[in-house]
Amino acid sequence: MTSTSDSRDLRAELESLTTEAFRPELSDIDRLATLDITRLMNGEDATVAGAVAVRLPEIAGAIDAVVEQMGRGGRLIYAGAGTAGRLGVLDASECPPTFNTDPAQVVGLIAGGPEAMVTSVEGAEDSAELARADLDALAVTADDTVVGVSASGRTPYALGAVAHARALGALTVGLACNAGSALAASAEHGIEIVVGPELITGSTRLKAGTAQKLVLNMLSTITMIRLGKTYGNLMVDVRASNEKLRARSRRIVALATGAGDEEIERALAATDGEVKNAILVILADVDGPMAARLLEEAGGRLRVALAAVTG
């Protein structure tokens, strides 16, 4: 049970955070017309991209480090509580259908486990020990990257994850939305996106959540670009598991090669529907097995495989 003094200390700490600041000029927001509130909220959201832009060098540095880790077979692991944890789980869950990654390659950990995605798990975010246990269950190694995510930059679960990951030799990234955060300071790569006070005091699922989503999008997407999961800006590692994706696969092959429908169908049939392989079949004039071998030798990078054949 939390003592009165501990409660006072926590309240004082929260009051020092930019993301928790009260905005008296918005104290009558509930009395405004709905359209006026939408304008206010839209204006607030418009500032987030600029706040992210200020930290692009730190973001790029973290991405390059993650790419090096994943190039050695390491995993990208997000760890957070509440909204931050949910955003990490969301980003991780979108990597397999988008980039055809193994579900174990990008992982999202949320304090309290899967149940916490939809319900509050009492006290989970306050447990650094829980973070250590969650990482140990994944058998984290020095080849992995652990990204602690926390709007305040002080959440014990995220701090515990980063501290334990560093002790295990893993690469660490700390993503927070307050300057001078403990989380950013504790990680090898600290990223602080200062979005300022929220429209609704205490609701860091708003601008802070948007900022975290933008940064996590960059971390995963640009890492996958660097790992050869795209060809230019084409999503060539898509796995066609339904009609929409099969149509998308044909369109991507067409955009990459300029080939006609019949040639595209033959190439996809020869490669069991693998888009990257089909592109290589057409552009390098090789058969399906040769395309697979060339891509394996190139570490899955289509440009490298093409260069090996076409020079």
Q: Which residues are catalytic?
A: 94, 125
Q: Are 215 and 150 in contact (CB under 8 A)?
A: no
DSSP class per residue in 18-80: GGG---GGGTTGGGS-HHHHHHHHHHHHTTHHHHHHHTHHHHHHHHHHHHHHHHTT--EEEEE
Tell me the HSE value of 206 on the side-chain side, using a 13 A CA sphere: 19
Distance of CA 20 to the CA centre of its chain: 24
What radius of gyration, in Å, describes the C-alpha atoms of the chain?
23
Which H or E element spans position 220?
Answer: helix 207-226
CA distances from 95 to 76, 98, 213, 251 (A): 11, 5, 14, 20
Q: 155: helix, coil or strand?
A: coil
C-alpha to C-alpha distance for 26 and 40, rounded to whole angstroms: 10
Beta strands in the chain (DSSP E): 76-80, 106-110, 145-150, 171-176, 189-192
Q: Are 128 and 155 in contact (CB under 8 A)?
A: no
* DSSP tag of 181: -
